[in-house]
Amino acid sequence: MAQEDSFLYALSSNNAWAGYKAHQNPNFFPKLAGGQTPQILWLGCSDSRCPETTILGLQPGDVFVHRNIANIISPTDINTSAVIEYAVTFLGVRHVVLCGHSACGGAIAALAGGRVGGVLDTWLTPLRAIRVAHAEELAAIKDESARAVRVAELNVQAGVAVLMANAVVQDAVRERGLEVHGCLFDIGSGRIRDLGFGTGSKGGVMRGAGGADEVVRGKHAQLVFRGGSAASMAVR
């Protein structure tokens, strides 16, 4: 498809989608326009293969989102900090999810060790620091894809540590039980894996404390996370 045709196709696809959703549920867009009450703040990578609402099986209005190159969480990044503060303080989200992914270009670039060019070299500095700090462990991983996945995991761990040190997040965890999850999205399978960082329990999919069912209800859908099993979705 020609480059200029891609945008025209996107507009046409949007028109078809909007028409279908309105036909399926005439109240969908009027309800959406009335305000947002998302229960999840998603902090992810800008990679086009990781569309959070789609891979979570949720709908517009269910997930508040911030994405950047390689899902890096920096305490000095005012953009990220503003998103976190708004979502936690004013929207009252119940879950903060920091999600990395397999085949991450940022992780691969950090492992390569060369210059990328421009501002990207500055932005990827935290990933390069992770590579240096864990050089022995990473060198022992012979498969390049697995090595990049490990860097992505370590990046999520570092990002969750920054989140847990954020005063707004700390207050919400203490005062109303906000949950912080560090996860990894496997592009090859479409599955999200809880890495066990943050306030949640280790292993499996995202779930509530003690492995109990955790129901995440959005404006138009809900996910039920069960310990050790896949999530089920009900559209309302």
Which residues are tagged catalytic? 45, 47, 49, 101, 104
**How far is it, in rounded angstroms, from Cα 117 to Cα 112?**
13
Q: Enumerate residues 6+ apart whose C-beta is below 8 A from 214.
A: 206, 207, 208, 224, 225
**Secondary structure of residue 22 in the 3-state scheme:** helix
Contact residues for 163 (Cβ-Cβ < 8 A; gap 6+): 43, 73, 84, 96, 98, 169, 180, 198
In the annotated binding site for Zn(2+), the residues are: 45, 47, 101, 104
Residue type, 152: A
> Helix or strand or coil: residue 162?
helix
